Copies of this chain bind each other. A is one copy, B any other.
Amino acid sequence: MARKRKLARGVAVVGGGLTKLGLFKDRNCKDFFAEAYGEMIGSVDKGVDPKDIDAVYVGNFTNDFFVNQSHWAPIIADLLGQVPKPVTRTEGACASSALAFREGVLAIASGMYDMVLVGGFEQMSKCTTEEVAEGLAMAASPYEVATGFTFPAVFGAMATAYFAKYGATREALFNVTIKSHNNAPLNPKAQFPMTVRDFMNARIEKCRKKGEPVPDWKDEKDFLRDPAANPPVAWPMHLFDCCPISDGASCLLLVAEDLARNFTDTPVYLAGMGQGSGYSLHAKKDLTTYEATRAAAKEAYEMSGLTPRDVQFSEVHDCFSIAEIVHLEDLGFVKPGEGHKAVAEGMTRLDGPKPINTSGGLKSKGHPVGATGIAQLYEVWMQLRGKAGKRQVPNPNLRVGAAHNLGGTGGTCTFTILERR
C-alpha cells in the first residue's frame, strides 16, 4: 500500500504561551497551564475569542505519579471554561506534548475542527528527587530498568559507544553544554539563566566568601573537567550533561491554514511532521543512533518536501548532552560521526550557520517533561515571528525552523518543521 503523508488541509500556529520554568512546589500544575494559556490569548495579534476553540489536546507524562491525579482533560476543560468541548490527553513520556501538537494538527487537517488548543504541563517538584527518578524510570523500557539502567546510565552507555566509534571525548559534551548555557541568559523563561562561566564565577565567589581555597579554573572547560565542580552521575554523563527537574506548562493555538490570517499577519505554518518509535537498549543494533528520530525525520522531510539543509535552526532534545550530538546526525544536519565536530566548530551556536537550542535547551531552559514538546515548538514559533528578543537568530531571512522531541530513552521521537511563507 502506498504511504501517504499529505494532509488534506494545512495548519498554522497563531498563538503561544510558556510559563517561566523552574521548581515551584507551592503552585499547582493547573496554575501553570492557566498562565501559559493567558500568554497565548494575549499573543494572538488580531485577537481570539476562546469560544471559537473547538477542541483541546494536552500532553502530560505522569501526573498520576507526580501529583496523584490522572484524567486531567476535564480539569483543564473546566479551568479554561471550555466544558463540554473535547479535551484529550496524550502521553509519550518526555514527548507527550509533541504528540498533543500532532493530534491537534490531525484534528484540523481531517476537517473535524477549525481551531484547536494544544499544550502540555508537568509538575515534578512535589516529589523527592528519588521519587522523580522512580517516576522517570517508568518512561524507560522495563528491560532497561530491570537491569539497573537509570536514565543517565542509558545515555552514558550511548556516549561511551559514540566515543568508541568516532573517537570523541568528553570535550565534545562540554561544547554542547557551554553553547546551550550561553543562550539561557537571553531567555527570560529559562530555569537557569546562567552561562557555564556564570556558574564558575559563582562557585569562585562562594569559595572566597567562605575563605576556602579558590580553584584556578582557566576557563569553562577547565571548570567542567573538575569533578569537584562537575561530578560524575553515570560516566561519562556528569552533572552538567544532565537536564534538571522542572515544573511548567506550554501551549500553542492551531487554526486551519485558510483561517490563519484572520488572527495574525505573521502566521507560522506546519511544513512537515513525523513520529517514530524506537527499541529499548537491549534490542538496539547500534547505540550511536536513534531509529525513532530517523523515522520521524524521514516522515517530516517527506511531508514538507524540505531537506535538512533547509532547516535553518532547530530545537533538539538534549535531556543529556550526548543526545544533542547524536540527534544532529539522525536529523541529517550532519553526517554520522560528525555531530561532535560540528558542535566544536560552532555550527550550533546562536550566531552559527545552524543554531541549535536557541532557548537554552532542556539543559538550561528546563525540562518539565509533559510541557517540553510544545515548549520547543513555542521557541521555533517565536523565532520565526522574530519575537525571540535577545536570543533571536541573527538571520533576516529566517523562514524554516524545527523541533525534535524525544520520549523515554528514545522510545518515542517526533520531528516537526514550521515555516513562514
Is A163 interfacial (CB 8 A cutoff)?
Answer: no
Assuming the contacts A69-B142, A78-B279, asked whether A3 and B114 have C-beta atoms less than 8 A apart, the reply is yes
**How many A residues, CB 8 Å from partner?**
75
Please give, as numbers and ranges, the residues of chain B lying within 8 Å of A278 by CB-CB distance. 74, 83-84
Is A361 interfacial (CB 8 A cutoff)?
Answer: no
Determine if A92 and B73 form an interchain contact, defined as CB atoms under 8 angstroms apart: yes
Cβ distance A96 to chain B, nearest Cβ, rounded Å: 9
Cβ distance A286 to chain B, nearest Cβ, rounded Å: 13
Please give, as numbers and ranges, the residues of chain B lying within 8 Å of A408 by CB-CB distance. 71, 74
Among A192-200, A287-295, A381-389, the stretch in contact with B: A287-295
Which of B9, B70, B85, B295 makes the CB contact (< 8 A) with A138?
Answer: B70
Chain B residue at minimum C-beta to C-beta distance from A91: B89
Among A19-27, A101-109, A317-325, A345-353, the stretch in contact with B: A101-109
Cβ distance A93 to chain B, nearest Cβ, rounded Å: 4
Determine if B88 and A103 form an interchain contact, defined as CB atoms under 8 angstroms apart: yes
Determine if B8 and A109 form an interchain contact, defined as CB atoms under 8 angstroms apart: yes
Determine if B74 and A141 form an interchain contact, defined as CB atoms under 8 angstroms apart: yes
Please give, as numbers and ranges, the residues of chain B lying within 8 Å of A99 by CB-CB distance. 88
Determine if A110 and B52 form an interchain contact, defined as CB atoms under 8 angstroms apart: no
Is A207 interfacial (CB 8 A cutoff)?
Answer: no
A residues 35-90 touching B (CB-CB < 8 Å): 52, 54-55, 61-62, 64-65, 68-71, 73-75, 77-78, 82-90
Assuming the contacts A111-B6, A112-B109, A408-B71, asked whether A89 and B86 have C-beta atoms less than 8 A apart, the reply is no
Please give, as numbers and ranges, the residues of chain B lying within 8 Å of A3 by CB-CB distance. 54, 113-114
Please give, as numbers and ranges, the residues of chain B lying within 8 Å of A279 by CB-CB distance. 74, 78, 83
Chain B residue at minimum C-beta to C-beta distance from A30: B142
Assuming the contacts A71-B412, A74-B277, asked whether A111 and B4 have C-beta atoms less than 8 A apart, the reply is yes
Determine if A277 and B62 form an interchain contact, defined as CB atoms under 8 angstroms apart: no
Is A187 interfacial (CB 8 A cutoff)?
Answer: no
Cβ distance A217 to chain B, nearest Cβ, rounded Å: 39
